[in-house]
Each structure stands twice: as structure tokens, then as C-alpha cells.
Structure 1
Amino acid sequence: MSAKEILLDKIKRKTATIGVVGLGYVGLPLAVEKAKAGYRVIGFDVQDKKVQMVNEGHNYIGDVVDAELAELVKEGRLRATTDFSFVKDVDAVAIAVPTPLDKFKQPDVSYVVNSTKSIAKYIHKGMLVVLESTTYPGTTEEIVKPILEESGLKCGEDFFLAFSPERVDPGNKQFKTKNTPKIVGGITPDCTEVAAAMYENVLEGTIHRVSSPAVAEMEKILENTFRHINIGLVNEMAILCKRMGIDIWEVIDAAKTKPYGYMAFYPGPGLGGHCIPLDPFYLTYKAREYDYHTRLIETAGEINDFMPEFVVDNAMKLLNVEKKALNGAKVLLLGVAYKKDIDDYRESPALKVIEHLEAGGAEVIINDPYIPKFRHGGKEYFSVPWEEAIADADMVIITTDHSDYNYEAIVERAKIVYDTRNATKEVKTNRKKIHKL
């Protein structure tokens, strides 16, 4: 039997051992699903704390069911380690590590490079490697493949390599890792076949095969750039509507009655999360190699980046109407997470709002039911009960529309409410206290 046939047989009979590098928001749910499907799974991470928590059956990711993780660990289906030498024991490994931007908005693929080098030390014949981290088109072929082939093994013959972009939407009640359609693009047709077979035996979602890793990489960038640009458009509309005295939320509600040709996007205090604010800039970086400037993407980025400043500027004007200065004002900020009902505050626009408020001399009080404390800009912040803080606050700014909040009570007890998420749309009383984005 060939290396491909042997691996396909192991995948089919579920005797393959699967590794997952990076046990974060993408990697841990993926490891859990693979273990639930009947495979033996080894999770790799450089953080001792994460490894220890997994091995103790303690969950730290919202989209993972605590009891499922504990049971899989107890049964020996899933374990974690910081020792990459155990790569020698796996038949397939997925790389799900961060791909951030540096301060110049240039891609930082160091996590991918370091993970690939760690795998390359122990790669063996008949092994599958899949990159899931979002990155620019060409990464799998131009960076990952050469590093792995330094082992002396040949891609497509001795080992198999593919790109399959993660599609994780934290807090989504309908679509999880298990049932979200998956894109797979291999270096060779055999690479695609093996990678697709693995996902077909793990996931319920459709496995869509594409002709190359570059197509799969570009597809992921297109997904997030689509959202990035449309959010930029609606944020610009919100800025203009504010100046014209028009309610942007009413405009959107009217527009979405059209059953074709329109998809509703909503404004807010800015972009947050691990994908939308970052991924489009991977494409702008790669486009320069082809002497092309992605003007639309960059313009949308400028608009979205401006929103936290726009929020604080409006807050200052609202305080001014009450004959109060931003300098010295007490501002209660409701919500630090980048979206509702999750504990993820990576790239959250609330952080930029805090920066601008404090730069203007405001005293910022934080409440987030999902985030008891966090560090930002070298400073530690603690969530305090809003019920206790609201009486002394000169203004309440809603930056995250968590379902836990009692918006009727908040509006009733606040002096001024500046709602950047339209969270108070159902509040019927004290409407004059409410000011929208």
C-alpha cells in the first residue's frame, strides 16, 4: 500500500492519532471534535497553563462543553503537551496558531513558522499537515512546504499538506466547529483527498474541495474582507446620519425589508475579534507584491479604526450639553468583549474607547459580566457591578450589547445613556436619556 492508502485506511478505521497545534479559540474546539469522532488526539501548546487545564479536564473556551472535555480527557481520548517530540506519534496534525499584525499592520507569521519548524523535526512518512491559521495566499506553499521538506521528505508523496481555513464564530448558537462547512485545498490532489477524508470523518458540515491552498487562503480572506468593507460602509453611513439627524438604526430596519440585493450590517464603536480587524490587511500586504494597492480595503479600515474616536467625540458633546467636561467625568463603560455574550476581548473597540476617554481625562469604570478583569496598555482593569457604579456615573456608554444587561433598569437609573449598539431599542421609558451612535 502507498503512503496515501495507508493513511486513508487509518482515517477511515479511526486508528489514526491526530495532533492539534495551538489550543485556543480554534484549536481546542477542533481537538474536542476530533476526539469525539473517535480519534486519539494530542494537543500541543507552548503555554503550560493551557496544557495543564486541558489535562485536568478544565475548559477555558466558551464554545466547548465543559463536561465533554472532562469526559474525553478521562477516557484518554484527548491530552495536551508542550513537548513537540510527540509529533512523531501522530498521523495528522492541524496548525491553529495566531496570525496577528505588527504595529505597522504587517502580517506576523512567526507563530506559523515556529510551529512548522517544530513539526518538521519529527515529521514522518505518511503524515498529513493542515494549516488552519488565517493568512495571506501563498503561505502554505511558500513558507510551510519548504520548511517541512527540509526534512528530506517530499510533499505529495511522502507527506501530505493542505490549507483548510478555520471558521469560528464565538458565541454563535447555530453554527459551531462541528456543523460549519469546511474548505480544503491541498498542494496536490492526493493532499486534498487525504485532508478532506479526515474532516469528513470528524465534521457534519459539507467539505468543499478547492484546487489549491492559495484558493482556500484567498477564500478565507474574502469572507472576512466582505464583512470588513460592509461594516466600514455602514459605519460611514452612521457618521453621516449623525450629522444629518437621521436614525441609522431605523434606516437599516427599513432597508432590510427588501428581500433581495441587500444584506443588513450594523454600525458600532469599531471592529474587534481575531479575524475581521486583521485578516483583510494580510491581503493588502500580499497585493503589494503584485504592484496593486487594495484601496477599498484600506479605506474601510480607516473608517472602522476611526469609530472609537467618533464615539468619544460624541460622548464629549453629550456631556457638554449637561454642562460637564469630559475631563473629570465619571464614565461607566458597559461591555469590553468585542461582541455580545462572549468573554473574548481581542482587538475589542472598547479598549480604544477606554484609551480615548482616559486621554481626555475621564475616569472610566468598567463592567462586563463575562470579563471580571483584564490588562490593557500596562494597566489592570476590574469589572465592578454596574448597579453600584451607575449612581455616580455622569454617563453610561454601552459598547457591548450583552444579553445579561437589564437595559430598562440601566436607562432608568443612568443620567445619560450613549448606546453604540442599539441595545436599548426595546426600552419604552425615559427615551430622552438615550442617545444613539
Structure 2
Amino acid sequence: MREFLEIMLQKDGYEVHCAADGLEAMECLKERKFDLVITDIRMKPVDGLEVLKQTKSLSPSTVVIIISAYASTETAVAAMKEGAYDYLPKPFKIDEMRNVIRSALLSRGQDAPARPREGPLYFGCLIGESSPMKKVYELIEKVSATSSNVLITGESGTGKELVAKAIHGQSARAKKPFVAVNCAGVPESLIESELFGYRRGAFTGAGADRKGLVEAAEGGTLFLDEIGELSPALQVKLLRVVQEKTIRMIGDTTDIPVDVRIISATNRDLEQMVIDGRFREDLYYRLNVIQLRLPPLRERREDIPLLADHFLAKFCREFGKDIRKISSYAMDILKSYDFPGNVRELENIIERGVALESSSIILPESLTLAAHKRAQRGRVESDGPVLPPDGMDLDHYLADMEKSLLVQALDRSGGVKQKAAELLGLSFRSFRYRLVKYGLSAAEDSE
């Protein structure tokens, strides 16, 4: 592993020095100053935590990355408290190690070989550089050059209002008002007066004329979120706005001309609602001149680290905390999770993580527990065994699986039973019992 990392990092343009164990590393640290130290955790006679302490004592500005096959929360917390930059489990991905090294060096102002990003990272208030988001950006630019009505579709929490704001901000109406209305958030008895306004005396409590939100958006953009929640009566009145470009205030007999661009959004299947007779077909086609679909977060997983880092910085500023990054363990959990609540759920998870974390790095335990459990359950459901059509002998299957894992643990530990037991989270006595149970003890001893 040491030789592999040396070759990889030298090819990446770094100057690398290697030490065979902790004692040799500590002697090197006394002789010269290093920008970065990568150390294993379990070494004899000096372990990685001691190397970390020595490094920080001799050179506080040196960043330290800990790697280990024996991952545990206690070790990670101990390493973070001693000043480690990150804690990576074995086996790790090459690109993951490269990214952690790059981030670690940049965190101390050190130049690192730059890897240029492709495509836009930020587009207005939108964040992402995945292929699905690049397509969204391209469509926003095309749509913004027109005055056509736009229907934004996508699951809840994907950022439909941000897309609407981006379209407005790129358009010729950018200097005019952007008025957002959540059709599901206003009681049905009030939505009409909110949208169209009313004249004095139109109903009890109407003591003065009041302009509606449609008129307030004059010259600009009216964003109607959750458009599928409008009642049939309101759909008729909205159709008049779309077709005639006029509104009629409650309690008035004259029409008022309005110049607004309508961008609507929904997480419901409006086409199916039209078929079911729950949404007007003529209104649907007038709102859906151009449709823009926002991908759910599970279809753009490569954007999760970008979004998570953005929210981390945001909430660190809000809470006045100095949390440098999200640990690799925690990021792996986030990247493997399907996020039924999409970007909004990710934001809430990071907010909770920042609020609960007491160290300088977000650890898995600070993430929303439900997210971690669902991520684990999702992996089991997607990668787990499939029950054969004719059934199976479960006891025999589990025994074969247990025996296979015992053999793998022995192989990975080089035949050292104590290490093999630790890899499986077993006591040494329990591990030996299982070896005898499956007839593996004699074979292992003979080797």
C-alpha cells in the first residue's frame, strides 16, 4: 500500500517520502517539515495516533490523514480531536484519496495540481455539475430568451422555485418583480383574494382596496407553485389571466390588463389529472407551453458532495461554528442514500449535523439517524440475495455464507486469527468456536 501510494502521488506531481513504521516516521518529522502526512492507524511499536500527535507537536500546520482497515467511531473521534484532517477506511477508492489530499492541502493554502471542473458549478442559485443538471441549465438559457409560459415538474424538494427564479433572472423581465405563490399553502377561501385582490366593501372585513399578487407581478414573473392544488373554480379564473391577460378583482365589474409571465410548478402528474377530469385540459396546455423536468437527487448523485459542502458552509456561518469538512464515512452514507426528500432533505440533514457536531469534522453519528438506516436498508434491498422460485434451505444458506466470511477474514488478515475476529466484530473465543464448527480450525492450524 505504501509503495502504491508513493507511485500514485509521484505521478500526480507530489514530492513523496516514505517511512516503514511509526518510529521511522517520527525521525523523519524531526529532520524536515512536511505539508501532509498519511499514516496507518495500527502499527508497532508506535501507532498512527502517536504519529499524529508528534506531527502536530513539531509542525501544527502539517495536515494529517489517517487510514485504517479497523474503522471505529472511537478511533475517528480520537483522531479528529488530535487534529487529523480526515479518516479514510480501507479499502479506499483512488479518486477519493486524491480528492482528500487535494482538499487537505488547499485547506492550508498549499498549491495542489488543479483538476479543472467541467460545466457550470453554480447557475444562479442552483448548484450542480452533473449531466442532468447541465441539461437543465441549457434549457433554462433557451427558455429565458422567450416569454412563453413554463411548467416545471419534479419531486418535492428538487428546487423548482430556484429554477423559476433562474429563468426570471436570465430573462428580459429580470428587473421587474418575481412573485411566488404556493397554491397549496393558502386556504381555498383566501386564494382568490390573494391572487386577484378585492375592492373595498367586497366582503366583511374588506375595508380598503387591495391589489392581488397577479397585479403585483406586473411586468415580471408570477410563479405558481403546486399548481395542481387549485380548485376547479380557480382554474377557470386563472385560465382567463392566461388567455386574456386580464384580471377582475373581487367586488369589481371591470377588467384590469396585466402583463405577467406565468411559470408554474407541480410534483403531481397533471396529465393524469386532466385524464381523470381533475384539471382543466385547456389550462394545462396553456401553462405547459414549455416543460422543464427537474431530476431527483438520486439521479444526480455526483452533485451530493457539492451540495453538502455548500450547506455545511452555510450553516457554519449561521451557527458560528468552525467545522472544516464532512468526513469520508459520512459522505459515503450521503452518496448511498436515495433522498426521498431530495435537496431539501439533504439541507436538513446537514443543518442537523452542524448543530450536533462538537468536533471539527462531520461524523456519521451527527447525521440524521433515519437517513443512515434507510441508506443501509436500501443497500440490502438492492444488493441482497433473491429467494428462488422453489424456495431454499435458509439454515444451509446462512451457514455457507458464514463459512465464506470466516475464510475471507482469515485470508485478509494473513491467517492471524485475532485480526480476523476483529474484522468480523467477534471475540476471539467466538471466532475460534465458529472455526471448529465449520471444520476450518484444523486446516488453518496446518497452514
TM-score of the superposed pair, with normalisation by structure 2: 0.30
Point out which structure has higher relative CO (alpha carbons under 8 A, 6+ apart).
Answer: 2
Q: Structure 1 length as normaliser, TM-score? A: 0.30
Which of the pair is proportionally richer in helix?
A: 2
Which has the greater radius of gyration?
A: 2
